[in-house]
Amino acid sequence: MKNKLFTLVISAILSFSSFASFASFEKVEEALDEGNLKVAQLTFNELTESEKNSLLGQILAGRLLLQKEAGKDAFDHFEDLVDINSENVEVNFYLGVSSLMMLQKASMFSALGYAKDFLSAMEKTIKLKPDHTGAHLNLIGFHVNAPSVAGGDKDKALELANQLKIFDAEQGYGALARVYVATEQTELAQQTLQQGLKEFPKSFTLYFRRAGIYLRDDDWDKARADTASAINHAKNDNEKVEALWQLGKASAKSGKEIDLGIKSLIEAIFLLDEQGPQAQWVKYGLAELYIHNGEWDKAKDYLTKIDNQYVDDNLKSQVKKLKKRLKKLKN
10-residue block means of pLDDT along the chain (331 residues)?
48 42 81 85 93 95 93 96 97 97 85 94 98 98 93 96 98 98 97 98 97 92 93 91 91 89 93 81 93 92 85 84 87 73
The pTM of this model reads 0.86
DSSP state for residue 66 in the 8-state scheme: H
Close Cβ partners of 93 (under 8 Å, ≥ 6 residues apart): 121, 122, 125, 132, 134, 135
Close Cβ partners of 278 (under 8 Å, ≥ 6 residues apart): 35, 241, 245, 272
Q: Give the C-alpha separation, 214 to 226, whole Å.
A: 9
Question: Taking the domains of the chain in order of start, what are their residue ranges?
Answer: 259-331
Task: Indicate the residue type of 196.
Answer: G
- Long-range contacts of residues 77-81, Cβ cutoff 8 Å, at least 24 apart: 81/55
Q: Which of 199, 149, 202 is nearest to 172 (CA)?
A: 199
Close Cβ partners of 187 (under 8 Å, ≥ 6 residues apart): none
Q: Give the C-alpha separation, 273 to 35, whole Å.
A: 11
What's the pLDDT at 259?
A: 93
